[in-house]
C-alpha cells in the first residue's frame, strides 16, 4: 500500500544492513527490526573488528609508555581524538576531551566551569525539551550555588518558542540546549541561539548527543562554546563520550576529576595540572572504546554525513506518510510535521494503547521501540503524557522497517481492540 | 520468552479498561502516598482511610500501562475493608510472587509461600514475572500502598 | 642457569598463554613478553568473545527497555553487577556502582561523601605510597574545604611505617589507603587499618586497584567502608571501574553526577534521586564493558584466586632470586624482599641506566616494562628517584618471561656499558 | 620501528655521561625556569644570565634519561654566549625538527626548514623523532629555556 511512495535513498541500506551482525538475529521468530537508535545504536562489523584487532595486537595503557605496543596504543588513542576533531570541525584536537558519556561531559562543564562562574544572582537558560542529562546537573549545582534556571518553552508545533527569547536570555551566563530533541526530533536553531547568547554575554553549551550521529556537525559554524556527544549513539561502543570546548575555555577552567594523567606534578601538599586536553582526563581512559569510536566515525564518514541526513529525511518522510495514511486519527506523532525540520525520532501515541503495552506487543513482531519518558520528564509534562513509544531511525533502517512497524501496530488490536 | 497471552489475561485487561476505586479521598483524615517508576514514568497516588486498624476506604489516581493500572485496581479491591494486618500479608504475598524471578539485586531468593487463593484476581498477574521489565509496573502500586500504611500507622492516635 | 630453582606453579601457564591472542604477536622479531600488567592487563579470548557475542546478539541500552534484546542487555548488565558482588564478597549487588575507572570511584567518594562530611578543622589520613588517584581528589577537595591531609610514612623496608599510627589516626574522619602499592608491590594491613580507623571513629576507603586482580578479596573480612577497583587491570576491558560501599553509606550520600537513570523524578524546579546503586550511575553506563568484566571475573574465578596468588608468590620469588643472582649489586629491586609480603610488581634500578633507556632497550627484545613515576610522584620523592622501570607479573607470565627480562637487561650494556 | 643506533648516537651518550654546564646561577641576576615531563617524571631547571640581549651564561640542573640529559647539555653549549634572537631561532629550528613526526595534536604540520649546520651537535637528536614517546624527553629542556627567555625579557630593564 505504500509502494507508491518508495523513497529515493542516497544510502545503499541493503549493503549497510549486512554490515550489522545483530540485524541477522531473530526475535520471536521474526527478523530484528531495530528502531531504538536514539537510545543506543548498533555496531557494524567494522567497529567490532577495529576494537578486536586493537585488543589482540596493540593493547596497552596509554600515556607515553616507551615500548612498542604502548606506542601503538597511544597512537591509536590519539588518532581517535584527531578523528573526532575532524568529524565535528574542531580547529584542534587539544580541545577534544574524552569522557565516559555525554552526561559526564555536561557534568564536567557544570562542576568545572559552572562551579567557578555561577553564584547567587546569576542565571542560566535551558529549554523545556532537554534530556535529564542537561537539567539535573544544573539543578544540583543551583541547589548549592543559588543561581536561577530559566527555560525556553516548547511551542505547540513542538519547536522552541523563541517569542520571549530576548527577555529570557537577558543577563544569563550560559545557554545550554539540545541540538535535537531525543523525543520530538526537533532540530533547534543553534546558530541563532549562539548569536543571541554571545550578544547577551553568555556562553552556549550544545548537547549534540542526537545531532552528531545524524547530521554534519561544525562546531565553528555553530559558534558554540561547549559541545558534548556520546559514542554509543553513533555506531560506536558504550563507555565513551566527548566534550569539545573552545581551547581558551578549557585552559581557564579548573580540573574536574583528579588522578593520574591529569597532573604535571604532585607533592604531598599540592599539585599542578597537565596541559589540555589531558587535564580533564583523570585515570585510564576508555582506550579500546576510543579506537571503536574512531572506526565508527570512519564508517559514517565513508557513508557521508550529508547522505546520512538525506536518507533520514527521506525515510522520516516515508514513515510520517505511511503511519498517517494507515492509521489516521488513531495515531499521533509528536514533533514537527516537516521531515526537513526534524530528525528521525518518532514519538507515538497510538489509540489508547499505553506505550509500554505497545512496545511489548511490537516486540512479539521483532520490532524494537522504546517506551517511557526518554529521560525528559519535564517535556512529557509539557506534552501532557506520561510516556511515549519512540521509534527512531538510523542508517541501517529502510522502508521495510517502517512497514514492519506499521504492521505490528495493527496487531495491537488483538489485546487492545 | 513467554507468549503475550500470559501477560494480557482477560481479567487484567478488564481491570485496565474499567479501573475500580478511581479517585481521591480527603486528606486528612485519609493519607496520601505517591509512587514513581523512575524508568518508565508511571505515576500513582494511593489514598487510604484507615481507622481502628482497618482500611475503610481506598482510592487511586494513576497513569500508566495496563499492568500498573490493573494491578492498582485489583489492589484497591483486595484491601478495601480489610484489617491492616491482613492487607500487609496480602501485600507480602503479592510481592513474593512478583519477585520470584526478579533480579538477584533484591538479595536472596527468600521463598515466601504464595497462597493463590488469598490473592484472588491478583494471581492473574503471575504471568508478569516472565516479563522482567514489567514487574516494576505490577509492584508500583504495592510499594506505594506500603508507604501509605506506614504513614497511616505513624499518624494513628496511640 | 636458573633451571635449579624452577617453581612449582599451581597455574598451567602454557594453556593460559594460549588464551591471550596478543601474546602470539612478535615485536622486533621477538615474542612479546608482556610485563606491564600493573598498568593494564591483556584480555583473554574468553573476554573478547563475550563482548563480541553480546554486541552481535543482545546489545541495547539498559534501564528496563521492554523489548527482548533490551531485556537481555539489562540482564547481562545486572548479571555483571552480581558477579562483581560475589567476586569481592559484597553482601549485596545494590552496593556495587559501576564507574569508568577506579579514579572516578575515588573522586565519587570525595565529591559525594567528602564534600558533605569534610570541612575546616577536619582531617583525613592517606599514605606516602598512594597512587595520584588517591591523592589528587583529596588535595583538590582540601583546597576548597580547608581540611588537613596527613600521610602515613613509608618505612625503609618499604612497608607502611605504623609507629605513629595512633597519633596520626587520632581525630581523622577518613583513612584512604591502597591495598597494594603499584610501585613497591607492598601489601598493606587493611584489616588492621580498618580496625584502627573505626576505633578512631573514621571510615576507611581501600584503593584495591592492584589487589582485586591478584588476591582473593573479601570486603566484609576487611571491614572496609569503600572499596574501588578497575576493570582493565583484571583481564577486563578499559572504560569500566567499580565502587563498592556499605549500603547505608550509599543510601545516605548525595548523588554525584546528574542525568538519566539516576533520578526518580525530574521537574523544572527540582528532582529526586533513584535507588542505589543507580543513584550513582548517571547516563548510559559502560554496558558491553560490564559484560567483559563479568567474563574476566569468570575467567579468574575459573583459575581460582588462591591459585593466582600462589602462582604470583612463586613467580615473584623466582624473579627476585634470578635477578639478584644474575646482577648482584648492579640491580636494586624496590619493595619488601619477601614474596609472601608483596605482589608481583618489581620496580627496578639497574646500573646507572635510566628507566626510560632501560625500557627502550628492553623493547628491542620484545620485553614490555613501564618506565616513569607510575603516578606516584610523592613515593618517588620518598625513594629518592625520579622514575623506576617496573616489571609486573600476572597469570600469563612464567619463568621464561622472567628469563627474557634478565637476558634483555644484559643487553643494555651495548649502549650503557 | 627504527633501530636503537638511531637513538643512541655516540655523541648523545657522550653528553649524557659528561653533561656540560651543570649547576646553578645566582637568582637574580640570573632567571630560573623549571620544566616537568608530567608522564615520566623528568625534571629540569634552567638558569639563564641574560644581559644586553645576550645569553651570557647558562647552567642546568636536571634528572632524566639519556635523551633529556643530552639534549639539555647540548642546549647549554648551543646557546651560551649567543644573542637572544639567535637563541630563539635555534630553539625554533630544533623544535621544528622534533615535531616533524609528532602527533598532530600540536596542530598543522607547519614546515620550518631545518638548517642542520646551525644545529650542530643537536642534529644528532634527529633520530629521536622515530621514537615518538621520547620526543618529549628531547624537547623538555627547550620549552623550559623558552620560559626562561620570556622571563628574562620581562625582567629586563627597558
Ligand atoms: C593503586 C592504583 N590506584 C589507582 C589506579 C588508577 O586506575 P585507573 O587509571 O584505572 O583509574 C591505579 C592504576 O593505574 C593503581 O595502580
Ligand atoms: C539529547 C540527549 N542528551 C543526553 C543523552 C545522554 O546520553 P548518555 O546516556 O550517553 O550520557 C541522550 C541520550 O540518552 C540524549 O538523547
Which atom of ligand 2 is nearest the CA belonging to A38? 16
Average pLDDT rounded to a whole number, residues C51-76: 94
Which residue is closest to A358 within chain B, CA to CA?
B65
pLDDT of residue B114: 64
Average pLDDT rounded to a whole number, residues A28-44: 97
pTM score, whole prediction = 0.94
Closest CA to A243 of A17, A85, A407: A85
pLDDT of residue C5: 65
Please name the helix (run of DSSP H) or strand (run of DSSP E) that holds residue C117, with its range, or none. Answer: helix C115-117
pLDDT of residue D156: 59
- β partners of residue C174: C124, C203
Would you call C8 a catalytic residue per the annotation?
no
D41: CATH: 3.90.1010.10
Contact D41 C416 (CB under 8 A): no
Touching check for A386 and chain B: CB below 8 Å? yes
Closest CA to C371 of C352, C358, C353, C361: C358
Contact C75 B40 (CB under 8 A): no
Q: How far is B53 from chain C (nearest CA, A)?
A: 31
pLDDT of residue B2: 64
Contact C372 D40 (CB under 8 A): yes
Cα-based torsion angle of the residue sequence C257, C260, C263, C268 in order, rounded to the nearest 10 degrees: 100
Residue A407, pLDDT > 70, answer yes
Q: Determine the structural domain holding residue B49 and report its residue range.
A: 4-152
CA quadruple A324, A328, A329, A330: dihedral sign: negative
- β partners of residue C27: C30
Q: C-alpha grid cell for residue C30?
A: 621477538
Using one digit for the tens of pLDDT, what is the confidence trace for D70-114?
Answer: 999 999 999 999 999 999 999 998 998 888 644 444 444 455 566
Overall number of domains in chain C: 2
Touching check for C132 and chain D: CB below 8 Å? no
- β partners of residue D34: D45
Q: Determine the structural domain holding residue C240 and report its residue range.
A: 49-302
Which atom of ligand 2 is nearest the CA belonging to A374? 14
Which parts of A328-376 fold into alpha helices (H)? 355-363
Question: Is residue A227 classed as helix, strand or coil in its secondary structure?
Answer: strand
Which atom of ligand 1 is nearest the CA belonging to C102? 11
CB D121 within 8 A of CB D16: no
Q: Cβ contacts of residue D63 below 8 Å, gap of 6+? A: C386, D42, D43, D44
Q: C-alpha grid cell for residue C33?
A: 613478553
- For the question of an ipTM over 0.90, the answer is yes
Closest CA to C69 of B39, A22, D150, B122: A22
Question: Do both C166 and C243 map to the same domain?
Answer: yes
Average pLDDT rounded to a whole number, residues C62-86: 95
A198 burial level (CB within 10 Å; 0-12, 13-18, 19+): middle
Question: Do both C70 and C168 map to the same domain?
Answer: yes
pLDDT of residue B158: 45
Question: Do both A35 and A55 map to the same domain?
Answer: no
pLDDT of residue B108: 44
pLDDT of residue A63: 85
Q: Which residue has the cell 596493540?
A: A58
Average pLDDT rounded to a whole number, residues D4-33: 92
pLDDT of residue B120: 80
Residue B112, pLDDT > 80, answer no
pLDDT of residue D111: 52
Residue D158 domain-assigned?
no
Residue C29 alpha carbon to ligand 1 centre in Å: 31
Residue C381 — pLDDT band, cuts 50, 70, 90? very high
Residue B137 falls in which region: left (phi positive, over 0), alpha (psi -120 to 50) or beta: alpha
Chain D positions with Cβ closer than 8 Å to A: 1, 36, 38-40, 103-105, 107, 131-134, 136
For B103, the closest of C78, C265, C274 (CB atoms) is C78
Average pLDDT rounded to a whole number, residues A286-311: 98
The verdict on the CB of residue A398 being under 6 Å from ligand 2 is no
Using one digit for the tens of pLDDT, what is the confidence trace for B74-109?
Answer: 999 999 999 999 999 999 999 998 886 444 444 444
pLDDT of residue D121: 85
Question: Do both A57 and A90 map to the same domain?
Answer: yes
A359: CATH: 3.90.1150.10
Instruction: Output the average pLDDT for chain C.
Output: 96
Average pLDDT rounded to a whole number, residues A343-348: 97
Residue C336, pLDDT > 70, answer yes
pLDDT of residue B148: 94
Q: How far is CA D97 from CA A157, B151, D87, D128, D140, in A?
A: 59, 76, 15, 10, 14
CB D44 within 8 A of CB D64: yes
Residue B76 domain-assigned?
yes
pLDDT of residue C143: 96
Residue B92 domain-assigned?
yes
Question: Do both A137 and A275 map to the same domain?
Answer: yes
Question: Do both C263 and C316 map to the same domain?
Answer: no
Using one digit for the tens of pLDDT, what is the confidence trace for C221-274?
Answer: 999 999 999 999 999 999 999 999 999 999 999 999 999 989 988 999 999 999
Higher pLDDT, B153 or A381: A381
Question: Which of C302, C326, C347 is the last residue in one of the domains?
Answer: C302
Question: Which residues of chain B make contact with C264, given a CB cutoff of 8 A?
Answer: 36, 38
Using one digit for the tens of pLDDT, what is the confidence trace for C107-158?
Answer: 999 999 999 999 999 999 999 999 999 999 999 999 999 999 999 999 999 9
Percent of chain C with pLDDT over 70: 99
Residue A4, pLDDT > 60, answer no
Q: How far apart are CA C134 and CA C124, in angstroms?
A: 12
Question: Do both A246 and A149 map to the same domain?
Answer: yes
**Length, in residues, of chain C:** 417
Overall number of domains in chain D: 1
Q: How far is CA D79 from CA A336, C305, D83, D91, in A?
A: 67, 58, 8, 9
Average pLDDT rounded to a whole number, residues A203-219: 98
C184: CATH: 3.40.640.10
Question: Do both A324 and A236 map to the same domain?
Answer: no
Q: How far apart are CA A310 and CA A308, in angstroms?
A: 6
* Angle subtended at Cα C417 by Cα C411 and Cα D4, rounded to the nearest 5 degrees: 55
Cα-based torsion angle of the residue sequence B94, B96, B99, B105 in order, rounded to the nearest 10 degrees: 130
Using one digit for the tens of pLDDT, what is the confidence trace for D122-152?
Answer: 888 998 998 888 898 999 999 999 999 999 8
Average pLDDT rounded to a whole number, residues A223-237: 98
For ligand 1, mutation pick of C102, C217, C243 (most atoms within 8 Å of CB):
C102
Residue D157 domain-assigned?
no
Question: Do both A143 and A276 map to the same domain?
Answer: yes
CA gyration radius, chain B: 15
Residue B31 — pLDDT band, cuts 50, 70, 90? very high
Residue B1, pLDDT > 50, answer no
Instruction: Output the average pLDDT for chain D.
Output: 85
pLDDT of residue D114: 64
Residue B13 domain-assigned?
yes
pLDDT of residue C267: 92
Residue C402, pLDDT > 90, answer yes
For residue C392, give the ligand nearest its CA.
Answer: 1
Q: How far is CA C136 from CA A62, A182, A252, C125, C172, in A?
A: 20, 37, 19, 13, 18
Question: Which residues of chain D make contact with A265, given a CB cutoff of 8 A?
Answer: 36, 38
Touching check for A237 and chain C: CB below 8 Å? yes
CB B125 within 8 A of CB B95: no
Question: Which residues of chain B make contact with A361, given a CB cutoff of 8 A?
Answer: 4
Q: How far apart are CA C178 and CA C204, in angstroms?
A: 11
Amino acid at each position: 500500500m505504500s509502494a507508491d511512495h518508495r523513497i529515493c535513498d542516497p544510502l545503499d541500506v541493503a549493503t549497510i544492513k549486512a554490515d550489522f551482525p545483530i540485524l541477522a538475529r531473530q526475535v520471536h521468530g521474526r527478523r530484528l527490526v531495530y528502531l531504538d537508535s536514539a537510545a543506543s545504536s548498533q555496531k557494524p562489523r567494522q567497529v567490532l573488528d577495529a576494537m578486536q584487532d586493537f585488543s589482540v595486537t596493540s593493547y596497552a595503557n596509554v600515556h607515553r609508555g616507551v615500548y612498542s605496543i604502548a606506542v601503538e596504543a597511544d597512537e591509536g588513542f590519539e588518532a581517535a581524538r584527531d578523528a573526532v576533531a575532524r568529524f565535528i570541525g574542531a580547529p584542534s584536537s587539544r580541545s577534544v576531551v574524552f569522557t565516559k558519556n555525554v552526561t559526564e561531559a555536561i557534568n564536567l562543564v557544570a562542576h568545572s566551569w559552572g562551579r567557578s562562574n555561577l553564584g547567587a544572582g546569576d542565571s542560566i537558560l535551558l529549554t523545556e525539551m532537554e534530556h535529564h542529562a542537561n537539567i539535573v546537573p544544573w539543578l544540583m549545582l543551583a541547589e548549592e550555588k543559588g543561581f536561577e534556571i530559566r527555560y525556553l518553552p516548547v511551542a505547540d508545533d513542538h519547536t522552541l518558542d523563541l517569542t520571549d527569547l530576548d527577555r529570557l536570555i537577558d543577563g544569563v551566563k550560559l545557554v545550554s540546549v539540545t541540538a535535537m530533541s531525543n523525543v520530538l526530533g526537533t532540530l533547534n536553531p543553534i546558530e541563532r541561539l549562539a548569536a543571541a547568547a554571545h550578544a547577551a554575554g553568555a556562553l552556549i553549551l550544545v548537547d549534540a548527543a542526537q545531532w552528531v550521529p545524524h547530521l554534519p556537525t561544525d562546531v565553528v559554524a555553530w559558534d558554540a562554546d561547549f559541545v558534548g556527544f556520546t559514542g554509543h549513539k553513533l555506531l560506536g561502543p558504550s563507555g565513551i563520550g566527548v566534550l569539545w570546548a573552545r581551547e581558551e575555555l578549557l585552559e581557564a577552567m579548573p580540573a574536574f576529576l583528579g588522578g593520574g594523567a591529569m597532573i604535571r606534578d604532585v607533592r604531598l601538599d599540592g599539585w599542578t595540572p597537565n596541559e589540555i586536553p589531558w587535564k580533564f582526563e583523570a585515570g585510564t581512559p576508555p582506550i579500546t572504546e576510543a579506537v571503536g569510536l574512531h572506526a565508527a566515525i570512519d564508517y559514517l564518514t565513508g557513508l557521508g554525513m550529508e547522505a546520512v541526513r538525506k536518507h533520514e529525511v527521506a525515510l522520516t518522510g516515508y514513515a510520517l506518510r505511511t503511519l498517517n495514511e494507515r492509521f489516521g486519527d488513531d495515531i499521533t506523532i509528536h514533533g514537527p510535521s516537516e521531515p526537513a525540520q526534524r530528525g528521525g525520532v518518532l514519538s507515538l501515541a497510538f489509540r489508547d494503547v499505553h506505550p509500554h503495552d505497545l512496545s511489548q506487543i511490537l516486540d512479539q513482531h521483532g520490532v524494537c521501540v522504546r517506551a517511557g519518558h526518554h529521560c525528559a520528564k519535564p517535556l512529557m509534562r509539557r506534552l501532557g503524557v506520561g510516556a511515549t513509544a519512540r521509534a527512531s531511525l538510523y542508517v541501517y533502517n529502510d522502508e521495510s522497517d517502517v512497514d514492519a512497524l506499521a504492521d505490528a501496530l495493527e496487531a495491537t488490536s488483538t489485546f487492545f481492540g | 520468552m513467554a507468549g503475550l497471552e500470559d501477560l494480557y489475561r482477560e481479567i487484567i485487561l478488564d481491570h485496565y479498561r474499567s479501573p475500580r476505586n478511581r479517585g481521591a479521598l480527603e486528606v486528612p483524615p485519609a493519607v496520601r502516598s505517591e509512587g514513581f517508576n523512575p524508568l518508565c514514568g508511571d505515576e500513582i497516588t494511593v489514598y487510604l482511610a484507615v481507622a481502628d486498624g482497618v482500611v475503610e476506604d481506598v482510592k487511586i489516581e494513576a497513569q500508566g500501562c495496563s499492568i500498573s493500572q490493573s494491578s492498582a485496581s485489583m489492589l484497591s479491591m483486595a484491601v478495601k475493608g480489610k484489617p491492616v494486618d491482613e492487607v500487609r500479608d496480602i501485600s507480602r504475598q503479592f510481592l513474593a510472587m512478583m519477585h520470584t524471578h526478579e533480579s538477584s539485586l533484591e538479595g536472596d531468593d527468600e521463598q515466601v509461600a504464595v497462597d493463590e487463593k488469598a490473592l484472588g484476581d491478583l494471581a492473574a498477574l503471575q504471568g508478569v514475572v516472565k516479563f522482567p521489565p514489567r514487574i516494576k509496573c505490577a509492584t508500583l502500586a504495592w510499594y506505594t500502598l506500603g508507604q501509605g500504611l506506614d504513614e497511616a500507622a505513624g499518624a494513628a492516635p496511640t
